Amino acid sequence: MTWSSIIIAGIITYFTRMTMVALVDRDLLGERIKAVLAYVPSAVFPAIIFPGIFINDYGTFIEMNDPKIFGAIVAILVGYFSRNVIATILSGLFSYWIIIFLL
C-alpha cells in the first residue's frame, strides 16, 4: 500500500517535471505568457523563503524579535552588495548563530 502510493506520487512528480519540457510545444505559449514566465523565480521562491522565516515548527507566527528575522536581513544585505551566494548563506547563518548562542 505504502509502496504503491510512493510509486504513484513519484510518477505524478515526474510528470510535473516532464510535461512542460517534453510534451508542450513552446510555440503554443504566446509572447505575453513567455514574458510573464520570466518572473517565475521571483514568483515561486518567496513561498519557500517567507514561511521558512516567519512560521515556526508548530505552524504559528514567530515573534518580531526572532533571530531568524535578523539573520535574514543580514543575508539580504550581504547578498545584495556582495553578489556572492556562499557569503549570503553563511552571513545569515552566522548572524543567526551569534544571536542564539552568544546573546
Residues 6+ apart with CB under 8 A from 39: none
Residue 64 sits in the site that holds another protein (CB under 8 A): no
Give alpha helix (H) positions in the chain. 2-18, 31-37, 40-44, 46-54, 67-82, 85-97
C-alpha cell belonging to residue 28: 503554443
Does position 62 interact with another protein (CB under 8 A)? The reply is no
Taking CB under 8 A as the rule, does residue 43 contact another protein? yes
Q: Enumerate binding residues for another protein (CB under 8 A).
A: 1-10, 12-14, 16-22, 24, 26, 29, 32, 34-55, 59, 61, 68, 71-72, 75-76, 79-80, 83, 85-86, 88-90, 92-93, 96-97, 100
